[in-house]
Amino acid sequence: MNGDKSKPLISCHDVKKIYGSGNAEVHALRGVNLDVYPGEITMLVGPSGCGKTTLLSVIAGILKPTSGSVVALGSELTKLTSWRRTNFRRTNVGFVFQQFNLLPALTAAENAAVPLVIQGYTKRAALAESRKLLTQMGMGDRMSNLPGQLSGGQQQRVAIARALVHHPHLLVCDEPTSALDAKTGHTILEILRSIAIEGDRAVVIVTHDSRIFEFADTLARMDDGHIVSLEREHRGHEKEEALSA
């Protein structure tokens, strides 16, 4: 874990991402600069199509930017081969998806154990870890349930447990509250906040949900592939605002 909280866990510098070519070119990111710090929640917000999901995918090592630099945990992600980026994600990144993306045939405990199984853990060892985590998250009595038997909030808890079970340094969340009611969404954000602070992890959230902006340590507003404003709230609750180019 990055022990120094003043140093960013991830640094994006002049990141551009272009989809397609020629007349069909789409500039999803137009030179984004962003630092993501451990122990904090960074939220990417903005209208649909502004590039926030692309930026999240770049930060998570899923997408390779067209140009620019992404340094994550000391590694330049843009220089890693596809195989090494897969390895990077396997050990360092936890994912929480909008639609949860739980495997419908697997129980809650089995779903939460998946990242460990991918890392090569035996089923028994992986399940032991996932059960421990689910119990901590108040899902002890739901571990044998299939996703279809769980409420939206419970499914999201399982998804969070799955994202954390392998102790990643970075947690990326895509619209984690969009499928949930306000109260459940609030609870989920509290969980994510405690994960960030207690686990000293960087949490990056893409969201449209303005009700959860209050949980952000850094709020990056995006539009047309740019970060148009960056609000950073320090521990002492003083706000700093900056505009990217």
Partner 1 sequence: MSWIALKMLTGNRGKYLGIILGIAFASLLIAQQASIFCGLMLQTSGQIRDIQGASIWVMDPNVQFSDDVKPLSENDLYRVRGVSGVSWAVRLYKGLTRSRLEDGNFQQTILLGLDDATLVGAPPKMIKGSVFDLRKPDAVIMDLEGYQLLWPGEEPLVGKRFEMNDHVAEIVGICKASRTFQTFPVVYTRYTQALDFVPPERKVLSFILAEPSEGLSVDEVCKRIQTQTGMRAMTGTQFEWVTMKYFMQKTGIPFNFGITVALGFIVGTAIAAQTFYLFTIENIKQYGALKAMGAGNWTLMGMILLQAMLVSLIGFGLGIGAATWFGKIATAPGSRLAFYMAPEVFVGTGLAVGVISILSSLLSMQRVMVVEPAVVFQG
Contact residues: partner 1, CB under 8 A: 53, 56-57, 60, 62-63, 83, 86-87, 89-91, 93, 95, 97-99, 101, 103-106, 110, 114-115, 117-119, 123, 174-175, 206
Between residues 63 and 195, which has the closer beta carbon with respect to partner 1? Answer: 63
Between residues 71 and 106, which has the closer beta carbon with respect to partner 1? Answer: 106
CB of 7 to partner 1, least distance (A): 25
CB of 113 to partner 1, least distance (A): 9
Between residues 119 and 144, which has the closer beta carbon with respect to partner 1? Answer: 119
CB of 238 to partner 1, least distance (A): 33
Between residues 80 and 197, which has the closer beta carbon with respect to partner 1? Answer: 80
Pairing of strands 202-207, 41-45: parallel
Cα separation of 210 and 242, whole Å? 20
Tokens representing 200 are 């000293």
Between residues 93 and 108, which has the closer beta carbon with respect to partner 1? Answer: 93
CB of 140 to partner 1, least distance (A): 22
CB of 165 to partner 1, least distance (A): 10
